[in-house]
Amino acid sequence: MPRFARRFMGTCALAACAGLMSAMAERSAFAQGDFPNKPVRIIVDSAPGSATDVALRVLAERLSRIWNQQVLALNHPGAGGSIAARVAAQSPNDGYTLSFAAASTFTALAGAPGVPANLPIEVPRDFLPIGFVSQQPMFIAASPKVGINSIADLIAQAKQRPGDISYATTGVGRITHLTMELLQLRAGIKLQMIPYAGGPSQALSDLIAGRVAIVLDGYGGVAPGMQSGALKGIAVGTATRLPEFPDLPTVAETLPGFFAGGWNVLVAPLGTSDAIVRKVSADLRTALDDKEVQSKLATIGSYVQPMTPEQLTAFIQEQQRVWKPVAEAVAAAQKK
């Protein structure tokens, strides 16, 4: 073949290759810019009607309007969040299946008794971070029948009667349980844990009756009892007092630096394109900036705190550093 012909065919091949790559890039850009063009599913580890489920549905409704596509909440409760994590991790990485993950799935202690093998979740090892959705302050409430009116009262009585004062938990190893363990470590006290498998209602019934002294839970779990006077709110786990509860002290006012609360984040399966992750993150921030969304979440005790994917990664890793020694202490105690 003459040299000029080979050059011509080579030039054509390069041009064709460049054209193909350009077309593919244009199609990719179009696909990402057009995302989403069908319903998006968000997997959550909580049962329908729970505070976490309600928070997701508030977010889903706003994202549906932003995307002009239906956003569906898929509930996969059980096994401490490991079922939902497994389903989400095995989902297609096209951006149409995301995960609404809770704090407890990140703070569980690997290898501890009762902790599933796929927990704790780590980012970016297991999922790609998208953004922080909301935090749920933890409220400590006491039965009016036990004479505990403050964290100082609790600490004083617990030091006089080590292991005698009981507290209710509805999830061993979850954030409510770990928070009470952190409180005991920081205060140098020993309380008696009473686990409840039947959910908050059974625990609150025993609390109101005085069979259990205190409980730590999110707003939705204790608010009805606090509002009716059946429970006495003694503290909240936030760094500063909440505007809605100006008369409720923080634990940090007695134990400086104490902070604990539940939180939910949005993550995507590994392999999801960076362009889609960035778009969802930006749209998530738009949704969370909406005053109506903030108001609806506040009514169930959830407070928005937008973060970029990078900020979310740093936040999760810091939370894991804080909670790991607490989880280790719980695991060690269970082995005794």
Residue 242 near residue 224 (C-beta atoms within 8 A): no
Q: Report the alpha-carbon distance of residue 100 to residue 266 in Å, rounded.
A: 5
In a domain, 13, yes or no: no
Residues 240 and 273 in one domain: no
Last residue of a domain, one of 237, 253, 269: 253
CATH number at residue 128: 3.40.190.150
Q: How many domains does the chain have?
A: 2
Q: What is the extent of the structural domain holding 171?
A: 139-253
Residues 43 and 127 in one domain: yes
In a domain, 71, yes or no: yes
Is the pTM higher than 0.85?
no
In a domain, 16, yes or no: no
Tens of pLDDT, residue by residue, the chain (336 residues): 444 344 434 444 444 444 444 334 434 433 446 899 999 999 999 889 888 899 999 999 999 999 999 999 999 998 889 999 999 999 999 999 999 999 989 988 787 777 889 999 999 999 999 999 999 889 999 999 999 999 999 999 999 999 999 999 876 777 788 899 999 999 999 999 998 876 667 788 899 899 999 999 888 788 888 889 999 999 999 888 988 889 999 999 999 989 888 899 999 999 999 999 999 999 999 999 999 999 999 988 899 989 999 999 999 999 999 888 888 887 777 676
Q: Which amino acid is at 169?
A: T
Residues 50 and 124 in one domain: yes
Query: Computed from CA positions of residues 288, 290, 293, 298, in that sequence, does the dihedral angle turn out positive or negative?
Result: positive
In a domain, 247, yes or no: yes
* Tokens (6 digits) for 116: 């599933």
Residues 131 and 70 in one domain: yes
Residues 218 and 122 in one domain: no
Last residue of a domain, one of 214, 231, 253: 253
Residues 269 and 198 in one domain: no
- DSSP string over 95-139: SSEEEEEEHHHHHSPTT-TT--TT-S--TTTTEEEEEEEEEEEPE
Residues 145 and 111 in one domain: no
Bond prior to 36 in cis (omega within 30° of 0): yes
Residues 183 and 110 in one domain: no
Residue 126 near residue 90 (C-beta atoms within 8 A): no
CATH number at residue 230: 3.40.190.10
Rg (CA), the chain: 24
Last residue of a domain, one of 226, 253, 280: 253
In a domain, 236, yes or no: yes
- The helix/strand/coil state of 58 is helix
